Chains A and B, each alone.
Chain A
């Protein structure tokens, strides 16, 4: 397959101009877009290494020319906060299950929505996706009341459950769309071979949905990792020891009266983990999982 393309490419390229051959337009368009997207982030990065006084008196781009006046002061200040290590660990304890649980729960539901027949399926699906629009703020007080009566307010479990509930509509929507587009013959032949729905789910539907699941995992992790409101309400009011990283950062900004010179440094420190997750899951965006399964 690849050799066919290679030969074909070669034939084509002999008949084409230099611009077409080198994909000049493609690379230029991409690089322009990348530069536009990078500029604000670059500004943030440079600012995170500048003394607070400078950042408010001159543009960030002046700092990348000599004389250099970079400082690690902002990072040192953020890392010097009490409890930051505990908060960091808490962030992991919160984010990992709050990503894994909704993915599984949504995958079960999405599989039922795409490959099982039952009355009221479409209406139920509309309701599920419609719940995407429910404003988070409207749910906080009633749910906190529930958690208090169950005796789990302030625990990690409370935040896992809450994030699962909030993340499910999008997760079900995305996975149902992906699983629903898988080829019917795969599931039909599995059923003929006597595979139970559980087997079909774990052996076929799940592996074939890997790119969508990877995308979902990235977003859910990101959402939970950067969340301030949910953990502040369900944990912070009862058990501040269990609070995650963004809370420390928010306190840092509030307690220093403005303190905006620390925000860029804090932002880069808290961005690191979501970016690692993104890089890690990138390799699951692979081509041809579906094609292979149909053929096999």
Chain B
């Protein structure tokens, strides 16, 4: 019986409450004059979102900022000591360097492959199937993805049978074997971890870019083609410029994903062999050393790192409004 009630709440109750809310705001606005209405309305439309964000993200963030100025046990104020520790810690700086690699390469490859695949599948009959193939990795849980890529990168001593896909492949060509996740030269192992995330997140970029691609007015493309434009010209002159806002959204999301990269490092190398990242350092400070002050300071550094990207986005939205 509980289950039936739950199911009813889930399927009927929740949407009814949500639609009812917006309808109710418009009824409420009737008591106000035409001049006042437009000033109040946006806040009523945003109220639910602001309430959720305030409670679940802003409130804990303020707590984190306060905590970052306190000592290990949260008993004494230590000013910027935790930040000074971060700036002077070799481990933290090495992690920061890895995050820069993550940020550049994850973003470039995910956006690049996502765009390429979205544009290619748009022209074939097996679009749905091809997209599903690329999307599958995203549906795999992180733990399982870690397991499968450990199989991919698996390394056995030279001379014994290689059960790792990659080492068996290069072994067939007489090369290797290479302990992929332990090679620190040129950060090879970090790149191996980035590849796992590229494999997972390309589907994400593809789906969003594809949605935007479908939003382009087909008459626009037909007109250009009728005027004799080649496919490449159509892409460069019409499709790409119209996709730029979406590419910026995907790139921004991937930059943030790169800054927060954690799961893949946690499951595959445990931060060893110089593969540590900022979020891993935060986790280690929090759960291994119990130093909430330092962990909070790292979280705040992440928040600050995003500010330039946000300003870029604002500029973009202003430009968008100017032309529409």
Contact = CB atoms under 8 A, between A and B. Distances in A.
Interface of A: 1, 4-5, 8, 23, 26-27, 29-30, 33-34, 37-41, 43-44, 47, 56-61, 89, 92-93, 96-97, 100-102, 104-106, 108-109, 111-113, 116-118, 121-122, 124-126, 128-135, 137-139, 142-143, 146, 156, 160-162, 164-166, 168-170, 172-174, 176-178, 180-184, 196-198, 201, 211-212, 214-215, 218-219, 222, 226, 228, 246, 249-250, 253, 260, 263-264, 266-267, 270-271, 274-275, 278-279, 282, 285-291, 294
- By size class, the interface of chain B is 35 or more
Given A59-B164, A267-B141, A181 B10 contact: no
Contacts of B52: 102, 105, 161, 164-165, 168
Given A93-B7, A105-B48, A266 B139 contact: no
29 contacts: A1-B218, A8-B226, A30-B124, A41-B140, A43-B148, A43-B151, A43-B152, A102-B52, A108-B48, A109-B45, A117-B42, A126-B310, A126-B314, A130-B307, A131-B53, A131-B61, A132-B256, A134-B299, A165-B56, A166-B57, A168-B49, A177-B249, A181-B320, A197-B45, A198-B23, A211-B215, A267-B140, A287-B216, A287-B218
B92 interface: no
Contacts of B137: 37, 40-41
Interface string B297-324: 0010011011100110110011011001
Interface stretch (B94-102, B178-186, B278-286): B278-286
B141 to A, nearest CB: 5
A31 B167 CA distance: 23
A194 to B, nearest CB: 13
Main secondary structure of the interface of B (DSSP, over half): helix
- Which 9 A/B pairs are nearest by Cβ-Cβ distance? A165-B56, A267-B144, A109-B49, A211-B211, A291-B217, A139-B60, A112-B45, A116-B42, A104-B18
Interface of B: 3, 6-7, 9-11, 14-15, 18-19, 22-23, 25-26, 38-39, 41-43, 45-46, 48-50, 52-53, 55-61, 63-64, 113, 116-117, 120-121, 123-124, 128, 130-144, 147-149, 151-152, 161-165, 168, 199, 202, 204, 207-208, 210-212, 214-220, 222, 225-226, 245-246, 248-249, 252-253, 256, 259-260, 279, 282-283, 286, 295-296, 299, 302-303, 305-307, 310-311, 313-314, 317-318, 320-321, 324
Given A37-B133, A172-B49, A226 B256 contact: no
Contacts of A182: 324
A271 B132 CA distance: 12
A125 B140 contact: no
Contacts of B143: 250, 253, 263, 267
A112 B217 CA distance: 24
A143 B53 CA distance: 12
Given A146-B59, A168-B49, A266-B144, 10 more contacts: A57-B163, A97-B9, A104-B15, A108-B22, A109-B45, A142-B63, A166-B57, A212-B208, A288-B214, A291-B220
Contacts of B260: 133, 135
B141 A226 contact: yes
A195 B157 CA distance: 72
Contacts of A288: 214, 217-218
B123 A23 contact: yes
